[in-house]
Amino acid sequence: MKAGMLKENSLKGKNILITGGGTGLGKSMSAYFLKLGANVIIGSRNANKIKQCVKEFSIEFPNQITGISCDVRNYDDIKKIIDYGESKFGLINGVVNNAAGNFISPTERLSPNAFSVIIDIVLKGTCNMSLAIGKKWLKNDIKGTMLNIVTTYAWTGSGYVVPSAVSKAGVLALTRSLAVEWGKKGIRSNAIAPGPFPTKGAWDRLFPKIIQEKFILKDRIPLNRVGEHHELTNLAGYLMSDYSSFINGEVITIDGGEWLKSGGEFNWLDKIPSEMWDGIEGSIRGERKS
Ligand code: HXC
Ligand code: NAP
């Protein structure tokens, strides 16, 4: 892993709660925030996973990490983890809404429950956390920072992950709405929209082997590769730190140019071999003369 971007202690004095902080990108963010001096509280449904992760991080950061099980769909669980975090570290002043559920499926194959389970985790879970922590921050005059992990199809939409697209679009609207409503109290809300960053959770459900055999993911990405976790954690660390104190209501894309490639009208011309361009140019110039 490349060295972190931010100075030592950039997150000193921050008590940051990360949902889904025990796996994948959430775990990588937890690791970097700890390194930058933050106290970190992690929560997700699987108590063992959380316990294991806390144990692992405690070796290097003994008094900076804690966590309990928390289902973000359940408002009482959210209140519980906030109280728990505060009992360990004092008032929480940063939240990363990272927990998510997702899988690829043609929409018509979904049951109503399959649709709602994703909306409940991604959209309702983020609303639950935002509401609970927002009430607390406003009551205690805490100028907290909220970071929501969305994805680029929050604005393009996407087939085959429709419940997730609907939910991430909602989370983006929430981010921008609260940035204005609570910004006047000094509470910042921002989002990161990652392209593909390999994690077990995402790869098992979105790019299973059978799909990987048929499609080359990196061909979709102008930079011709997937993301590396440190690239995302650097951005997340910056957005959670006071260095980004004037950034509010923003969504920052980190996808190597992926979504623009599929959006640009003529980007398919990538497929034209370079040796064909002389002929194409000649034909266009010829048309203009005739
Ligand atoms: C169709 C499916 C299905 C599938 C589950 N269901 N998998 N339907 N195709 N592949 C249906 C079930 O039949 C059930 O409906 C309903 O969905 C709920 O499923 P359960 O297994 O009972 O739910 P649960 O145990 O709560 O698991 C939730 C989950 C699971 C979302 C289905 O995948 C999960 O735990 N995910 C958490 C982690 C995760 O998804 N990480 C990836 C995030 S990546 P019925 O009607 O039968 O009850 C991400 C990246 C996006 O978001 C961008 C990438 C570039
Ligand atoms: P991941 O490892 O599967 O992370 C999802 C996390 O959410 C898990 O730790 C899971 O833990 C937790 N979670 C799921 N349901 C929950 C619930 N009801 N309550 C609390 N926690 C719950 O996948 P990831 O790739 O790191 O994804 C992290 C974030 O990045 C997500 O918001 C995802 O949409 C976003 N993202 C990822 C990519 C990518 O390429 N990886 C791209 C774009 C956006 P439990 O199972 O223990 O609950």
Q: Which residues line ligand 1 (CB under 6 A)?
A: 100-103, 105, 109-111, 113-114, 117-118, 151, 164, 195-196, 201-202, 205-206
Q: Which two tokens stand for residue 105?
A: 């499926």
Q: What is the 3-state secondary structure (H, E, C) of the chain?
A: CCCCCCCCCCCCCCEEEEECCCCHHHHHHHHHHHHCCCEEEEEECCHHHHHHHHHHHHHHCCCCEEEEECCCCCHHHHHHHHHHHHHHHCCCCEEEECCCCCCCCCHHHCCHHHHHHHHHHHHHHHHHHHHHHHHHHHHHCCCCEEEEECCCHHHHCCCCCHHHHHHHHHHHHHHHHHHHHCHHHCCEEEEEEECCCCCHHHHHHHCCHHHHCCCCHHHHCCCCCCCCHHHHHHHHHHHHCHHHCCCCCCEEEECCCHHHHHHCCCHHHHHCCHHHHHHHHHHHHHHHHC
* CA distance readout (Å), 40 to 24, 81, 183, 229, 259: 16, 12, 24, 18, 32
CB atoms near residue 12 (< 10 Å):
11
d(CA 187, CA 89): 20
CB atoms near residue 185 (< 10 Å):
13
Q: Which two tokens stand for residue 229?
A: 């976790």
Ordered by where they begin, the domains of the chain are 15-260 (3.40.50.720)
Q: Which residues line ligand 2 (CB under 6 A)?
A: 19-20, 22-26, 44-46, 49, 70-73, 98-102, 121, 125, 149, 151, 194, 196-197, 199, 201-202
pLDDT at 3: 74
Ligand 1: which atom is nearest the Cα of residue 197? 55
pTM (2 decimals)? 0.97
CA distance between the termini of the chain: 58
Please list the residues that pair with 149 across neighbouring strands. Answer: 192
Q: Which two tokens stand for residue 18?
A: 């990360």
pLDDT at 46: 98
Angle, vertex CA 149, rays to CA 207 and CA 136, nearest 5: 145
- Positions annotated as catalytic residues are 153
Rounded to the nearest whole angstrom, what is the distance from the C-alpha of residue 25 to the centroid of ligand 1? 18
Rounded to the nearest whole angstrom, what is the distance from the C-alpha of residue 101 to the centroid of ligand 1? 6
Q: Is the dihedral of CA 105, 98, 169, 258 positive or negative?
A: negative
Specify whether the CB–CB gap between 264 and 163 falls below 8 A. no
Angle, vertex CA 101, rays to CA 91 and CA 33, nearest 5: 35
The pLDDT tens digits along the chain (290 residues) read: 567 999 999 999 999 999 999 999 999 999 999 999 999 999 999 999 999 999 999 999 999 999 999 999 999 999 999 999 999 999 999 999 999 999 999 999 999 999 999 999 999 999 999 999 999 999 999 999 999 999 999 999 999 999 999 999 999 999 999 999 999 999 999 999 999 999 999 999 999 999 999 999 999 999 999 999 999 999 999 999 999 999 999 999 999 999 999 989 999 898 999 999 999 999 999 977 76
pLDDT at 1: 52
Angle, vertex CA 184, rays to CA 180 and CA 188, nearest 5: 65
